[in-house]
């Protein structure tokens, strides 16, 4: 689709991925197999039984030994692209030291649910002129357990447009709550009460569209007047 020159461009590209769980782990594999040469992976979480079913590349042994998600992602990258350079950041992206590392990236993928991560991601894009995309999946049920909504989404965010704050996608109340606790990741219920939700197929849809958008934008393959648009897939 993008020839030898495009492949060389990807080999020199540095992508930052915030969140290496269900969606981030799929994004990592897609990008590695496409030939992206440099990765900056940010996540302070570990593999557990509660998230094993949706993290691509993770094993029961990883959950037993509480291996970090970024370590699993690095292993996944190097299995398919041994020449790739991988920088691991096992820390909260809201910390200044972690956020600063992402400034050198050419493109950012936000695959984390917290409002703090959204705030930092949004700031990096608009202050340092780095294009990116926010990905997510959502399952919502009522009090009786009836399925109400199933959706995947990816929202391209570009310097000067697509602002998550302006589009009210950063909740100030949740932002304040997260700032007061270190257990925010444990509070993510993904819209259900099940501890191990089966959302990997929804995550794959969001990841695929986000990676395709990255390819078209980074390699300048879109028609001149075309723009990246927000995609919401409701099932």
Phi, psi of 219 (to 5 degrees): -95, 10
Instruction: Give the pLDDT confidence score for residue 183 in this predicted structure.
Output: 56
Band of pLDDT at residue 226, cut at 50, 70 and 90: low
* Contact assessment for residue 221 and residue 215, using Cβ atoms and an 8 Å cutoff: yes
Annotated domain spans of the chain: 3-234
Band of pLDDT at residue 169, cut at 50, 70 and 90: confident
Of 225, 232, 193, 209, nearest to 23 (Cα)? 209
Instruction: Give the pLDDT confidence score for residue 147 in this predicted structure.
Output: 83
**pLDDT, tens digit, for every residue of 80-95?**
999 999 999 999 999 9
* Contact assessment for residue 40 and residue 109, using Cβ atoms and an 8 Å cutoff: no
Identify the weakest region by mean pLDDT among 11-15, 35-39, 141-145, 201-205: 141-145
* Contact assessment for residue 154 and residue 137, using Cβ atoms and an 8 Å cutoff: no
User: What is the spatial distance between Cα 70 and Cα 20, in angstroms, rounded to a whole number?
Assistant: 6
Q: Is the pLDDT confidence value at 185 over 80?
A: no
Instruction: Give the pLDDT confidence score for residue 168 in this predicted structure.
Output: 76
Q: Kind of pairing, strands 132-141 and 107-110?
A: parallel
Q: Is the pLDDT confidence value at 191 over 50?
A: no
Q: Is the pLDDT confidence value at 190 over 50?
A: no
The pLDDT of 183-188, averaged and rounded, is 52
Instruction: Give the pLDDT confidence score for residue 207 in this predicted structure.
Output: 95
The pLDDT of 119-134, averaged and rounded, is 94
CATH fourth-level superfamily of 3-234 = NAD(P)-binding Rossmann-like Domain (3.40.50.720)
User: What is the spatial distance between Cα 98 and Cα 104, in angstroms, rounded to a whole number?
Assistant: 12
Q: Is the pLDDT confidence value at 175 over 70?
A: no
Whole-number average pLDDT of the chain: 86
**pLDDT, tens digit, for every residue of 48-82?**
988 888 899 999 999 999 999 999 999 999 999 99
């Amino acid at each position: 689709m993008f020839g030898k020159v495009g492949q060389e461009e990807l080999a020199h590209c540095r992508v930052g991925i915030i969140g290496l769980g269900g969606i981030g782990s799929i994004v990592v594999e897609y990008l590695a197999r496409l030939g992206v040469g440099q990765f900056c992976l940010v996540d302070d979480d570990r593999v557990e039984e509660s998230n094993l079913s949706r993290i691509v590349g993770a094993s029961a042994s990883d959950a037993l030994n509480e291996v970090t998600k970024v370590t699993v992602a690095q292993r996944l990258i190097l299995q398919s692209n041994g020449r790739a350079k991988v920088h691991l950041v096992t820390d909260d992206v809201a910390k200044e030291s972690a956020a600063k590392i992402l400034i050198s990236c050419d493109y950012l993928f936000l695959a984390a649910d917290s409002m703090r991560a959204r705030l930092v991601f949004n700031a990096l894009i608009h202050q340092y002129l780095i294009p990116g995309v926010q990905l997510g999946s959502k399952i919502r049920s009522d009090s009786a357990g009836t399925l109400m909504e199933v959706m995947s989404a990816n929202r391209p965010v570009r310097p000067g447009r697509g602002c998550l704050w302006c589009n009210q996608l950063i909740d100030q109340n949740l932002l304040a709550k997260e700032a007061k606790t270190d257990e925010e990741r444990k509070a993510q219920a993904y819209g259900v009460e099940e501890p191990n939700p089966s959302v990997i197929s929804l995550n794959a849809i969001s990841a695929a569209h986000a990676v395709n958008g990255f390819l078209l934008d980074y390699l300048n393959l879109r028609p001149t007047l075309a723009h990246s648009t927000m995609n919401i897939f409701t099932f």
